[in-house]
Amino acid sequence: MPITLQQVRANCARARVRMVQARTQHWAFGAFNLDDEATLKAVAAAAKAKNAPVLVEVSAGEVSDIGLANVRDLVDNVKFEYGVEMYINLDHSPSVEDAKKGIDAGFEFIHIDVSQADHNASDEKIIDATREIVQYAKFTGALVESEPHYFGGSSNLHKEKIDYEEIRKTFSTPEGAKAFVDATGIDTFAAAIGNLHGKYPVPKKLDLELLQQIRDAIDCNISLHGGSGTPAHYFESAVKIGVTKVNINSDMRVAYREALVSTLKANPDEYSVAKLVTKDVMPAVQKVVEEKLAGFNSAGKAEA
């Protein structure tokens, strides 16, 4: 059953309150990508086991495969079935039109990222697009997230090492963060402090001193993209500083694929792959999510 505008506005209002509480109480929402129903249920099972609030998110690829309305319905059904606190984020929406569709579909969180489609997008183009979505989102109250430049990497298992000298060129700065927040009025600033999309051969390193400087410079929420492959102690420090949202994708995908390959090899005569996914793949993904929730200090923070 389609969600009503009244329900959408109530969900968005609650999400806003909860983000304030997360910052005050020093915990962060885990934002976990939804590749399919099995992934969604694994996230829900982890949220229930840890009594933690969570976000599930889709980007352009998942939207193309599943559809915005289907995502909304799937999440609402699973949220009710598991009895968990769960919200939806439209991640890296590449255009104003796509972001507006996410708002219209009733998503509580919207990430507008025109630099995803155009890595060389001008500052003016990024700011104008972000402003337009901030204004449009007022209709439902959805929280809008953005950043002033392209964020590198990809949600995959990388073989190359991390070139920190190159990555540092795109680090956020306190001055840049403040200017962007002031110019756009966003609810959440996506900081770049060593976080990077994807999973790499070596653990990622976050510049926590820089994060503190950014926190001191702006008063809106702060998110960290590219959380996979990052030691938990960085997240534990980041939430104390004031990060309230951390995106995880690649760690889940690696666990999913490895578990699937293993169970297919162990069960060569089973042709109901869905049974194997439920039996062996979902628990593997759930374990990853539970570990992240512990690092985000969100276990035990769910509200009925």
Which residue in 91, 98, 187, 251 is the catalytic one?
91
The answer to whether residues 44 and 86 touch, using CB atoms and an 8 Å cutoff, is yes
Q: Does domain 5-295 correspond to CATH entry 3.40.50.1100?
A: no
| Residues 221-244: tens digit of each pLDDT | 999 998 888 999 999 999 999 999
| Residues 40-94: tens digit of each pLDDT | 999 999 999 999 999 999 999 999 999 999 999 999 999 999 999 999 999 999 9
The answer to whether residues 135 and 117 touch, using CB atoms and an 8 Å cutoff, is no
Q: How confident is the model at residue 2 (pLDDT cuts 50, 70, 90)?
A: confident
Is 104 marked active-site?
no
Listed by start position, the domains of the chain span: 5-295
Please tell me the chain's helix, strand, coil percentages from 3-state DSSP, rounded to the nearest 5. Answer: 55, 15, 30
